[in-house]
Amino acid sequence: MREVSYVKALNEALSEEMARDESVFLIGEDLVELGGGSGATKGLAERFGTHRVRQTPLSEAAFVGLAVGAAMTGLRPVVEIMYVDFVTVCMDQIVNQAAKLRYMSGGQLTIPLVIRSQGGGGTSEAAQHSQSLEAWFAHTPGLKVVMPATAADAKGLLKSAIRDDNPVIFLEHKLLYATKGPAPREEYLIPLGQADVKRPGQDITLVATSFMVHKSLAAAEAVADKISVEVIDPRTLIPLDIDCINTSVQKTGRLLVVQEACTHGGFGSEIVRRVTEQCFGALKTAPRVLGGANLPMPFSHPLETACIPQEEKIIDQIERMVTDA
């Protein structure tokens, strides 16, 4: 299979869906020449015209509101918020409007909307450009939440998100855009709500999201001679493929969730809650969450690195959990 970058995979997904369905349009900042914050929309204005690739003023409340209203009336908007940190200025449109309109209208309205954004740290962009905010959205009933970690997943999940009739928050990671991986050139879909076992194993279940999938895989490889680690990427938080995680924990008896988001109130705790409720008898040791520090992301490199779960910490945690029991 050919290798493709994560950002190119996103670009292909957008391009294929725009070619397939005229009601799909893109809206956001700097989408035309720059190709958006990541380059994911590069070339699409040339191919589909600027009436379908709408470059906006810096007015997130207005253009996210526009997208919600356009979705209410039959279009399929794909919004780009340049950094997920900027959702705070359009949170009303996402949380109070997009997420609730279908329910409040007794099912009369349909909101087929995708909001793409990039999260994560690792590039010294400090506290307002480095957050992982998936838990905010997962905590809002009515939103689906997708976090692809590979190029193949990025393409297949984005295409499914665009065809989904619900509001979908699609969270990319800034360190993943340049990464390459195998992904089919032809069209394919990955359903929302289907986890992927990225590495099979017997001794401990690692559930990791976004960029942490890669760090977890590296950690699993590093301990492979003594510990067999199963790495699961849920890929979508809402809906969550809890069955896949439960099946794994039934086998391994150990659960470690690795997330970049700060640990307090994070989605990792939710996974631990559900596994504890459903697989308590199978657990050989207390399930744990290895997450980001409960701090605003610092600028300086050593401080930033200290806030994000690193491979050595994951290895240490795996070893402690396996020897504990």
What is the end-to-end Cα distance of the chain in Å, rounded?
41
From 11, 12, 25, 203, residue interacting with other proteins (rule: CB under 8 A): 25
In three-state secondary structure terms, 204 is: strand
Residue 227 and residue 322 in contact, taking contact as beta carbons nearer than 8 Å: yes
From 1, 107, 186, 277, residue interacting with other proteins (rule: CB under 8 A): 107
- Closest contact distance (angstroms) between CB of 50 and other proteins is 11
Strands (E) across 82-141 are located at 114-119
- Closest contact distance (angstroms) between CB of 247 and other proteins is 24
Residue 70 as a binder of other proteins (CB under 8 A): the answer is: yes
Residue 63 as a binder of other proteins (CB under 8 A): the answer is: yes
Site string for other proteins, 119-158 (x = CB under 8 A): ----------------------xx----------------
Residue 280 as a binder of other proteins (CB under 8 A): the answer is: no
Quick one: how far is CA 193 from the chain centroid? 12
Closest CA to 151 of 191, 185, 179: 179
Residue with tokens 């809890």: 242
Length of the chain in residues, anyone?
A: 325
CA geometry: angle at 284 spanning 199 and 209, to 5°?
35
Residue 219 and residue 229 in contact, taking contact as beta carbons nearer than 8 Å: yes
| Choices 53-61, 181-189, 282-290, 296-304; region in contact with other proteins by CB under 8 A | 53-61
| Choices 36-44, 108-116, 195-203, 220-228; region in contact with other proteins by CB under 8 A | 108-116
From 32, 39, 69, 179, residue interacting with other proteins (rule: CB under 8 A): 69
Residue 61 as a binder of other proteins (CB under 8 A): the answer is: yes
Residue 170 as a binder of other proteins (CB under 8 A): the answer is: no
Closest CA to 196 of 132, 155, 159, 245: 245
Q: Which residues bind other proteins (CB under 8 A)?
A: 25, 51, 56-57, 59, 61-75, 92-93, 96-97, 101-112, 141-142, 164-166
